[in-house]
Amino acid sequence: MSRIYQFKYFIVLALLTAVFCLTPVTLARDFYAPDGAMYIGVDYYPEHWPEQRWAEDLRLMHEAGFNVVRVAEFTWVMLEPEEGRFTFDWLDRFLDLAQQHEIKVILGTPTASMPAWVARKYPETLAMKPDGTRSTWGGRKNNCFSDGTYRLLSERITRAMAEHFRNHPAVVGWQTDNEFGGTDCRCHHCRQSFQDWLRTKYGSLDRLNQAWGTHFWGHTVQRWDEITIPDSREGTWAIANPSASLDWMRFTSWLNVRFQGDQVRILRQVCPDHFITHNFMGLFQDMDYYDLARDLDFVSWDNYPVFATMDEPGFAYSPAMAADVMRGLKARNFWIMEQSAGPLGWGSFSRNLRPGELRQIAMQQVAHGADGMLWFRWRTCTAGREQYWHGLLGHDGKPGRRYREAAAAAGDLRKLQDALRGTTVEAPVAMIYDYDSLWALRIQPGFPENQYLANLGRYHRAFLRAGVNVDMVPPDADLSGYRLVVASSLHILPDETADRLTDYVRRGGVLLADIRTGVKDATNLAYDRTLPGRLSQVLGVEIPEYEALYKVRYRLRVEEPLQGDFEASLYADWVEPKGAEALAVYDSWPVQSYAAITRNQYESGKAWYVGTIVPDETFYDRLIGALLSDAGIQPVMTPPAGVEISVRSGEGRRLLFLINHLEKPVTVQVPLEAKSLLGETQTPGEISLPPYGATVLQLVR
Ligand code: GLA
Ligand code: ZN
């Protein structure tokens, strides 16, 4: 053998060894178990039940086809009963038992509720309320995130747990804390940290004064320690400086991200083979979730749709939008860490899940990119604040209907897991999802109904009704892969974002922008420009005036392709086309000479502007239909009313999900060659779904 040949042989061998050694690590931190199984299970609280019951619970879980539990969040005092003394033996016994039952474990760092001894020894760890008193110990999520003591205590319990459990064969990953959510602590530590954070951000007081526009009301600050926490007046932001308020939102979000970062650093160092995630809250508005997701391997979230629609069963598109937001945080699939299992509530509870609904809620999430599924909770607790937050099992611990439905759902997911692996949602459309604009509109909505999520929701629902998947993306995302971009409510519009959107249209993209876009710069100061500011040219319009509409509605005269009998409500931009065609004009005094909806051909692309809110949802169906046709996007099929479709694709496979949101059976015509992955019998081209039914077809190309 020549030397060269030997050398090549050596390289190949080295590469193979490297691949072999690296693979298990990659797998362990991926969505699926090393054996390729999807993680399916429950949130379990061993400390809530006598130890003699654990084996029975684990046996029932195993029988249901579950292979994972999340445990230990909220058990800090049981793991560290006094400062620096750790008692892990009970959790060891549980982990051993779980391992025997082939159930893997996600450990929660328990810092979302502090032991009584922490509050007693270190009262400064409790968050301070606006009235200057500390919050009372005995709730949860009531700590100060600036306080150094709390951070050290959090690092200590995290490190102790990580070192103790790193080699336990049952442990596969970690959940940091629980539902980070920007506590609004007003202690002097938080005030000082805010001042430091601002000093780092602005460098000089001159720059801060300019950015905050403090010449208004004589609010110029001359020393950093003069800066106060903006007075939020219980969330109404009635009086504080809008720029200061926006920075305060950014700061409190960052405090949580930093706190999580402390834990992640330790977990990465001590447990490099474990994944790290956090349980997000979908459309929750107090955190910049892009930031919170950055340090994690993947996002998980807690989905409680039945709670949101307490009295009205039926259309449930908001969890789909939340799922799209969750997938957009890392442009990656996600998990459900807590999935609705029964009637939900702390004082009063919601309706029960209808037969089939438990599985349907889960399938909807898988359709939008969920690759792991844990139901909250295993068994309804007999103690504490959540006695009415029902689990798969009732208080009596007997496996009943909800248990059986979850087991059946798990069985279906097992049938699907090989086809699902390596696929994600196939979306030809992007919607920009931007926390700066969301926050700025909460601080100053302009008119009360101008809510960021509601505004985006109108378009998102219409896309789902049209059978088109949507990616929710950050404002700096690469848009080149999308044929259509909806940039709704970009109230805060830095010039770079405006230029990127312009460039997107120039290259042939189709863009939609709408009310109150481009009003503010990144510091939440109003631009001294005619609206829509930097987007004026691409949109081909100017908006010299605008108004909120209270109780009045303007009639609209609507042209092709939107045609219909529609009204403008809540708000009206008085739009002057400057090159754009008017697709709808106002038909009421005093705005007859102004347009409400326009479309502009700009270089190779098209840019739409919608300057009002139309109360009739069918308007949005027409609008989205017209946009899709401009963008040349054809849905795989158009679902019948009440049925949602979603497509996941990858690795040469395309999977079509059909989800019935109605409380009655439907028959869906599927005009495509497809085979059912769940093996229902069906006439070709026709699928029958029971109430809350859901199924998955593999499309044959
Ligand atoms: C949240 C939390 C859980 C539990 C449930 C039910 O999502 O993460 O700990 O409190 O709500 O209330
Ligand atoms: Zn504080």
pLDDT at 131 over 60: yes
Residue 674 pairs with which residues in a beta bridge? 699
pLDDT for residue 464: 96
Range 1-7 average pLDDT:
47
Residue 83 falls in the annotated catalytic set: no
Range 434-447 average pLDDT:
95
- What mean pLDDT value characterizes the chain? 93
pLDDT for residue 130: 86
Give the residue, out of 48, 284, 302, with the most ligand 1 atoms within 8 A of its beta carbon, to mutate for a pocket test.
Answer: 302
pLDDT for residue 679: 79
pLDDT per residue as tens digits for the range 77-118: 999 999 999 999 999 999 999 999 999 999 999 999 999 999
Find out whether the beta carbon of 386 lies less than 6 Å from any atom of ligand 1: yes
Please, are residues 291 and 180 in contact by the beta-carbon 8 Å criterion? no
**How many other CB atoms sit within 10 Å of the CB of residue 81?**
12
Range 501-530 average pLDDT:
98
pLDDT for residue 30: 80
Which is it for strands 104-108 and 171-175: parallel, antiparallel or unpaired?
A: parallel
pLDDT at 27 over 60: no
pLDDT for residue 8: 52
pLDDT for residue 234: 46
pLDDT at 562 over 50: yes
> Could you give the CA distance from residue 651 to residue 423 in angstroms, rounded to a whole number?
7
pLDDT at 22 over 50: no
From 127-131, 626-630, 692-696, the region with the lowest mean pLDDT: 127-131
Preceding peptide of 639 cis, ω within 30°:
no
> Could you give the CA distance from residue 162 to residue 273 in angstroms, rounded to a whole number?
12
pLDDT for residue 1: 41
Residue 233: pLDDT band by 50, 70, 90 thresholds? Answer: low
pLDDT for residue 495: 98
Quote the ligand 1 centre to 43 CA distance (angstroms). 10
Find out whether the beta carbon of 155 lies less than 6 Å from any atom of ligand 1: no
> Could you give the CA distance from residue 365 to residue 567 in angstroms, rounded to a whole number?
35
Report which ligand 1 atom has the smallest distance to the Cα of 386: 12
Find out whether the beta carbon of 43 lies less than 6 Å from any atom of ligand 1: no
Find out whether the beta carbon of 178 lies less than 6 Å from any atom of ligand 1: yes
Instruction: Decide which of 563 and 407 is more confident.
Output: 407
Which entry of 73, 80, 179, 405 is annotated as an active-site residue? 179
> Could you give the CA distance from residue 254 to residue 275 in angstroms, rounded to a whole number?
22
Ligand lying nearest the CA atom of residue 45: 1
CA nearest neighbour of 197 among 222, 229, 220, 219: 229
Q: What is the pTM (predicted TM-score) of this model? A: 0.95
From 238-247, 281-290, 365-374, the region with the lowest mean pLDDT: 238-247
pLDDT for residue 232: 67
Find out whether the beta carbon of 302 lies less than 6 Å from any atom of ligand 1: yes
Which entry of 73, 80, 338, 357 is annotated as an active-site residue? 338
Tokens of 381: 């607790």
Quote the ligand 2 centre to 152 CA distance (angstroms). 15
pLDDT per residue as tens digits for the range 587-641: 999 999 999 999 999 999 999 999 999 999 999 999 999 999 999 999 999 999 9
Q: Which residues contact 422 (CB under 8 A, 6 or more apart)?
A: 650, 651, 653
Give the residue, out of 70, 140, 306, 376, with the most ligand 1 atoms within 8 A of its beta carbon, to mutate for a pocket test.
Answer: 376
φ, ψ dihedrals at 607, nearest 5°: -130, 120
pLDDT per residue as tens digits for the range 166-217: 999 999 999 999 999 967 899 999 999 999 999 999 999 999 999 999 999 9
Range 455-477 average pLDDT:
97
pLDDT for residue 21: 44
Q: Atom 6, ligand 1: which residue's CA is nearest? A: 389
> Could you give the CA distance from residue 311 to residue 304 in angstroms, rounded to a whole number?
14
From 2-6, 230-234, 526-530, 624-628, the region with the lowest mean pLDDT: 2-6
Residue 179 falls in the annotated catalytic set: yes
Q: Residue holding tokens 């991926």?
A: 30
Q: Atom 10, ligand 1: which residue's CA is nearest? A: 386
Quote the ligand 2 centre to 639 CA distance (angstroms). 50
pLDDT at 508 over 60: yes
> Could you give the CA distance from residue 73 to residue 109 in angstroms, rounded to a whole number?
6
Give the residue, out of 42, 76, 179, 280, with the most ligand 1 atoms within 8 A of its beta carbon, to mutate for a pocket test.
Answer: 179
The sheet that has 104-108: what strands, in order across it?
275-277, 171-175, 104-108, 68-71, 39-43, 370-376, 334-340, 299-303, 279-280
pLDDT for residue 237: 52
pLDDT for residue 472: 98
pLDDT for residue 305: 87
Please, are residues 598 and 580 in contact by the beta-carbon 8 Å criterion? yes
pLDDT at 2 over 50: no
Tokens of 690: 């029971």
Preceding peptide of 377 cis, ω within 30°:
yes
**How many other CB atoms sit within 10 Å of the CB of residue 444?**
17
